[in-house]
Amino acid sequence: MTTDLCSPFTVFCSLFTVHRPLIMSKKRKANRAKKIGLPPGSLVYFGEKEKLIDIDVISYSDSSFYTQKVGSAQEALSFINEGCITWININGLNNIEEIRKIGAYTHLNNLLLEDVLDTQHRPKVELLEEHLLVIIKMIYHQEGQLTAEHLALLLGHNYLISFQESEGGDVFDPIRKLLQQPESLLRKSSADYLLFGLLDSIVDNYLAIVDRVSDTIESIEDEIIARPREDMISEIQLLKKKATFLQKSIVPAREVISRIERNNHMLIQEGCKPYFRDLNDHIIQIAETLASYRDILWGLTDTYMGAMSNKMNNIMRLLTLISTIFIPLTFIVGVYGMNFEHMPELHYPWAYPACWGVMIVITIAMLLYFKKKKWL
């Protein structure tokens, strides 16, 4: 805690400079100008990542587990067979030809592949005849920043293909660890449960991020009441932007999870529906929490302005009381500072201490009066 002396008004007040790091969200800007003039279904990568495509393949069953990095979509697709579940995770969307090969194998039309490549696409779900395509935002902390990553999940009969723009950063490490455990439910279940597991990891990360925002809001609320700072309004504004960013990224996912849970798609087995129902409850809770943050943050702004106004009123009251004390003292000093020739008090030996005594008595009397009125 430090105290700054900046002006006469701040001589009597302490400015607390306790800085709370607010994590700003890092947004990937889509260059949509590339799309102008092209026909519908043209495959254009909107992001900024230029990393070479990186593909991880995990093939597993209840009795086997195999993982390998491959360099092409054709090699990755060769792992798909009836005897096991295959998860193909594609990092990097700038290699259009490799994405096109995935589309040809899964019979996805170019309009859907276009959505996969559009890193700013709104979360949605496409219930196809033999596939289920989920587009969602994956949010996580990376290098001290809150990152929203475009993610597309394509569910097939015995495989799942995930498309992500990142260079290896995701929230799926717990799923990878569970897949290595022979006794885990993931190893014993079909591909729809793998889809649930990935979506559950994303939603669990939503919950963790929302909880951190909630803790920050509560901390600012307490600090506004105890010791409001001049720079606190900027922290509240950053929190507003962060809450808006989370709401735009997370709330549309509620519709995605709800549609998967409500529709009777052939790839979602009856035994897996309760898990999606529970996941839907979690995403609804998150959406409602984010909606409440908007009102809370607006209330915080009003509370902050009231606290700062009250702080300024206290400073002005103190300055007014000090000025009031000096008014009679200044009058006395002014009277006896006049250069008149006939001022008999000036010739008395006790005049000087008497003047001091009168001024001290007036000061003490006024202080006692202010104290009685609870102005001090």
| pLDDT at res. 22 | 42
Structural contact between residues 359 and 329, judged by C-beta atoms closer than 8 angstroms: yes
Instruction: Write down the domain spans for the chain.
Output: 18-307, 316-372
Tokens of residue 184, six digits: 């885990």
Structural contact between residues 251 and 139, judged by C-beta atoms closer than 8 angstroms: no
Residue listed under structure tokens 């990092």: 91
Q: What is the pLDDT of residues 25-53, one digit of tens each?
A: 444 455 566 666 666 767 777 666 666 77
Residue listed under structure tokens 């949605």: 124
Residue listed under structure tokens 């994590």: 23
Instruction: With CA atoms as reference, report the closest residue to 166 among 185, 153, 147.
Output: 147
| pLDDT at res. 45 | 72
Instruction: With CA atoms as reference, report the closest residue to 312 among 18, 30, 94, 15.
Output: 15
Helical axes 191-226 vs 232-262, angle rounded to 10°: 160
Domains 18-307 and 316-372 agree in fold = no
Residue 116: exposure state from Cβ atoms within 10 A (0-12, 13-18, ≥19): buried
| Alpha-helix residue ranges (DSSP H) falling in the chain | 73-77, 96-106, 110-117, 173-179, 185-188, 191-226, 232-262, 273-336, 351-372
| pLDDT at res. 281 | 94
d(CA 328, CA 127): 85
Residue listed under structure tokens 């254009």: 44
CA-based torsion, 197, 53, 127, 139: positive or negative:
positive
d(CA 195, CA 160): 7
CATH of domain 316-372: 1.20.58.340
Residues of the chain whose pLDDT is less than 50?
Answer: 1-28
Phi/psi of residue 190, nearest 5 degrees = -85, -175
DSSP 10: G
d(CA 133, CA 108): 10
Assign a CATH topology to domain 18-307.
Beta Polymerase; domain 2 (3.30.460)
Structural contact between residues 243 and 24, judged by C-beta atoms closer than 8 angstroms: no
d(CA 166, CA 178): 22
Phi/psi of residue 55, nearest 5 degrees = -120, 125
d(CA 225, CA 238): 19
Structural contact between residues 354 and 332, judged by C-beta atoms closer than 8 angstroms: no
The residues, ordered by sequence, that sit 6+ positions from 172 with a Cβ below 8 Å of its Cβ are 89, 198, 201
Q: Which residues pair with 66 in a beta bridge?
A: 59
| pLDDT at res. 41 | 65
Structural contact between residues 372 and 364, judged by C-beta atoms closer than 8 angstroms: no
DSSP string, 303-343: HHHHHHHHHHHHHHHHHHHHHHHHHHHHHHHHHHTS--S--
